[in-house]
Structures are given as C-alpha cells and as structure tokens.
Amino acid sequence: MRLDMKKILLNLLGIVIGSFIYACGISLFLDPNNLAPGGLIGIAVILNRIFKIETGTLFFLLNIPVVLLGWWKFGTRFIASTFFAVVINSVFTNYTARFGVVTTDPLIASLAGSILVGVGIGLVFRCGATTGGTDIIIKILRLKYKHLKTGYLFLMTDLVIVAVSGLVFRDFNIIMYAFIAVIVSGWVMDYVLYGSDEAKMIYVISDKADQIAERILDEIDVGATFLRGQGAYTGNDKKVILCVVKKNQAPTLEEIVKQEDKAAFLIISSANEIYGEGYKNILKEKL
C-alpha cells in the first residue's frame, strides 16, 4: 500500500511538472506569437483571437466532450489523472500568460515553445495520463494501430489544425513556423517517451566466432547469441553471432572483429525497438 501511494504521488508530481512545462511553452512562446501548436490547445489559440476568452479556459471547455469519450473508453482511473492534467494545464496556461511573451522572434519562439511542449506532454504521458484533447483521441488510435508512434500521430493531427490556423491568421510565415513547432515537439516527445535506446543489431559470420564472442562478453559486457548457419557454396557449418549493442559500443565491436578475423563477414543495421534487459520492459504498456 505504501509503495502504491508513493507511485501515485510521484505520478501526480510528474503530471504537475509536465503540465507546467507544457503551459510555459504555450503561454510564453507559442500563443503570444500567433503560433497554433496543434491539438485542442491550437484550436484554443485560434478561438482566443475570435472570442477573446483566455486560452487556458477555452482549452478546458474544449476538453469536456473529449474527456467524456476517454472515460467511456479507458475507465475512471485513467480519465481521473487526465482530467487532473487538463485542469492543471488550463490553470497554468492562464497563470503563466500573465508574465508576457519571452521573445517576439517567431523562429526562436517556435523552437523553444515546441521543445517545452514536447517535454511536457512526454512527461505527462509517462505518468499514465495525457494533456487531454487530441492526446486522448491519439491514445485510442494507438490501441488499434500499435505500429504507429505517438509522435507520428500527433504530427498528422496537428498539421491539419495548423493548416486551419493559416486561414485565420492569414500569414504564410506564421504557418511555416507553426509547422516547425509541430515537427520539433513531436520529435522531442518521442525522445522523452521512448528514450535514446536506438542501437545496432550486428551479425558476425566468422570461423573464429568463439574467440570473437568471448571478447564481446568480456570487453563490451553485452549478451551475444550463436545462430547456426551453413555456407551455401561450401556447405560448411558456421556459427553466426547475433548481438545488439548501444550505438557508442558498435565501433568497439567492429574493432574486435577486425582484430580476430579480417575475413569475417559483418552485417550492421539499426534497431529502434528493443525489449529485454538493459532496454525496454516488454511487459510495460506501450505508450
């Protein structure tokens, strides 16, 4: 019970911190420069210019039907944390707006604001909630299309909203800066969600597979697996080493192979989704 309570409190703290970072990106950089970042917050920025209602308040009102949809799809526990995030986001967005714009340079505003938005959304997602709006819709889409990353789905929906904002602001430059903000925030959010666990998957075909594998285990301290292979031309049986290493470890492994067997056949490819010890937990829900 004590561990569960600690986890809940840590998640709530993470939601508050993520929401504050998100709100700073909106109120201090994007909103005052007419940069609609996509999502319901982007719609709120557009409507703010029409109805003169605070952006945070509009964000909250727009979220009511979407939160109800999320409650129907995901249940009370998930939507409770999301509703908490929506309320905190709305309050922080209105509050931080009082400090005024940090910069009027649209390029700096789009970059700084999108980085803060991406980090904020990523933190909230990692704490088991969303910032509301299209986040909930995207989470529903992820249930069906698991192969699509969250950042990619955000990009698609946000581009539509940014395009609509162009009709309101009638400024081509602003649209382009908003596109930059959307792309950067999506990339940053993917980094926060998935981390920098991109690695290299390496196959080594060599007559000295045992020596190479021993050095990989001792010097790089990563696991390796022997696969059975057979030369199509010679018909000779061969051991094939399969190994996954961090990007910065790949050059060391290459050097080991060169030193042990200059005639070795080496295949190196990128691995973006890795589950197991030292990487992602396969039992953890995919964000």
Report pTM: 0.72
Helix (H) or strand (E) holding 225: strand 225-230
> How many H-runs (helices) and E-runs (strands) does the chain carry?
10, 4
Q: Over 60: is that where the pLDDT of 90 sits? A: yes
Query: For residue 199, what pLDDT is reported?
Result: 80
Q: How many CB atoms lie within 10 A of CB 244?
A: 18
| CB-CB contact of 215 with 252 (8 Å) | no
Q: List beta partners, residue 198.
A: none
- On the question of pLDDT at 27 being above 60, the answer is yes
pLDDT of residue 81: 82
Amino acid at 99: F
Gap between the Cα atoms of 282 and 173, Å rounded: 44
Q: In the chain, what are the helix, strand and coil shares in percent, each to the nearest 5?
A: 65, 10, 25
* Residues forming a β-bridge with 242: 203, 225
Instruction: Convert the pLDDT of each residue in 190-248 to its tens digit.
Output: 778 766 656 889 999 998 999 999 999 888 878 889 999 888 878 888 889 999 888 77
Q: What is the DSSP letter of 98?
A: G
CA angle 133, 138, 144 (to 5 degrees): 150
Class of domain 199-271: alpha beta
Residue 59 zone, left/alpha/beta (φ > 0; ψ -120 to 50; rest): alpha
Alpha helix locations (H) across 127-149?
A: 134-144
- Of the chain, the percentage scoring pLDDT greater than 70 comes to 89
Q: What is the mean pLDDT of residues 77-100?
A: 89
CA 206 – CA 215 distance, rounded (Å)? 14
Model confidence band, residue 283 (pLDDT cutoffs 50, 70, 90): very low
Residue 64 has pLDDT above 80, yes or no: yes
Q: Is there a contact between 136 and 69 (Cβ–Cβ < 8 Å)?
A: yes
Percent of the chain with pLDDT over 90: 36
pLDDT reported for residue 193: 73
**pLDDT per residue over 142-199, tens digit each?**
777 776 766 677 677 777 888 888 778 778 888 889 889 888 887 888 778 766 656 8
CA distance 230 to 249: 28
* Confidence label for 78 from pLDDT (cuts 50, 70 and 90): low
In this structure, are residues 266 and 202 in contact, taking their beta carbons and an 8 Å threshold? Answer: yes
β pairing state of 199-205 and 225-230: unpaired
- What is the C-alpha separation between 231 and 72, in angstroms, rounded? 57
Looking at the predicted structure, is the pLDDT value of residue 33 above 90?
yes
Length of the chain: 287
Domain ranges in the chain? 2-194, 199-271
Give Dmax (Cα) for the chain: 78
